[in-house]
Amino acid sequence: MGESKSRFKKMLTTEFYLLIFLVAILVIMKAAAPDFYSVNNIMTVLNYFSYLLIAAIGMNLIIITSNIDVAAGSIISVVAIVIAFVGKTGAPLPVFLIAGMGTGLVLSWLNGLFITKLNIPAIVATLATTQLFIGALPLVVEGSIYDLPASFTWLAFQAKIFGVIPASVAFAAVITAGFMLFMRYSRFSKKLYAVGNNKHAATLTGINVNKMMVLAFAIAGPLYGICGTIIATAGQRVTTTMGNGFEMTIIAAVVLGGTSISGGSGKIIGTVLGAFILSLITPAMNYIGLSSDWSDAVMGAIILLAVIVASISTLTKNKKVIIVPDQGAASPEAQAQTAPVGTAAPEVK
């Protein structure tokens, strides 16, 4: 009885609540707007979910190390322009995808180096590079790159699994599965968590804290690259602002997924659920008939709710009484003898 009760309690995790919330949205949509389940809409949602999730997994690693990256959106903008340049030549997906991942890697790595080498707080460093990246693009490109060839938009229009499912979903599935295994079974991931939990103790354990932080950014970079590639290839025109502001949705997905902004905790499965819920909001508003102007406010409200629920559950957990375990209790005589009575008698002279 007690066993099953505690097992039930263990199930009441952030992920569990998120799952219930997600199912609730899906059920409500079924009742309120059956059209929501049209193949077309489902595929649109899945595509958005996929690229949001891919970037959010990268962001999750960064947040686990107790950092933050507000440059993610601007990196995605840069990636979009870079791959448009490459794609304009008629290069196929693998070529510009690698170019995009490479761009993400370099820019995000730079962020990591700024933070660790110059000892600048992550939010300041990435805020500065955001301005730098966003500011540099219009200097290089005037407005947009357009008339991109069919080879460029192949991923969005032709690459369909079973003829309907966007290929981006496959990208997301493989990356998610890979990172789930990685976060559970690699020594590297344990070090990431350790750094986020307690930098000082991590150093004393022989972990190179700065290296781990740089690597978290370096891993996130190519993921932003993939995300940027999916976003950019959705049309024949690529503008200089395609990723601007997207970092907030990415961070929101991670935080909603239960990753603590102070670092050291958080699971990929949470990020998956967080990203999925956020992917549903805008289309759901549309189908219910509310203006999409509402969607930002609704997303904000959902995040606020999630944070409040998390905070209440920690508050109630902390209220429990500390009970001294009875194990190893010696008889009073033995206690009195072994306690340093003789040696420690008060010496008042």
Partner 1 sequence: MRELLTLKNIVKTFPGVLALDDMNFDLREGEIHAICGENGAGKSTLMKIVTGVYKPDSGEIVVAGEPVSFDDPNEAFAKGIAIIYQETSLFEEMTILENIFLGHERMKKAGPLTFIDYGKMRQEALEIFKIMDVELDLDERAKNLGMAQKQMVEIAKALSHHSKILILDEPTASLTQREVEALFGIVRSLKEQGVAIAYISHRLEEIFELCDRVTVIRDGKYISTKDVATTNKDELVADMVGRSMDNYYPKAEVQIGGELIRVEHLNQEGILQDVNFHINKGEIVGFSGLAGAGRTELALAICGFTKIDSGDIYMEGKKVRIHNYRDALNAGFVYVSEDRGKYGLVIEMSVKQNITMPQLANMRSGIFLDNKKELALAGRYIKEFGIKCPEEDFLTENLSGGNQQKVSVSKAIAMAPKLLILDEPTRGVDVGSKAEIHGIVSQLAEQGTTIFMISSEMPELIGMCDRIYIMKNGTVAGEVGRAEATQEKILKVALHVD
- Would you tell me which residues interact with partner 1 (CB under 8 A)? 184-187, 190-191, 193-194, 196-198, 200-207, 260, 264-265, 319-324, 327-332, 335-336, 338-341, 343-349
CB 204 to partner 1: min, Å: 6
- For 92-127, b/e burial (b = at least 16 CB within 10 A) is ebeebbbbbbebbbebbbbbbbbbbeeeeebeebbb
With CA atoms as reference, report the closest residue to 142 among 240, 74, 232: 240
CB 10 to partner 1: min, Å: 9
CB 64 to partner 1: min, Å: 9
Measured from the CB atom, the residue of 40 and 327 that comes closer to partner 1 is: 327
Cα 337 from chain centroid (whole Å): 57
CB 184 to partner 1: min, Å: 7
Measured from the CB atom, the residue of 198 and 241 that comes closer to partner 1 is: 198
> CA-to-CA distance for 293 and 189, rounded, in angstroms?
39
Cβ atoms 275, 257 nearer than 8 A: yes
Measured from the CB atom, the residue of 225 and 266 that comes closer to partner 1 is: 266
Measured from the CB atom, the residue of 118 and 348 that comes closer to partner 1 is: 348
CB 207 to partner 1: min, Å: 7
> CA-to-CA distance for 129 and 38, rounded, in angstroms?
41
CA distances from 220 to 6, 14, 101, 143, 313 (A): 37, 24, 10, 27, 30
Measured from the CB atom, the residue of 5 and 349 that comes closer to partner 1 is: 349
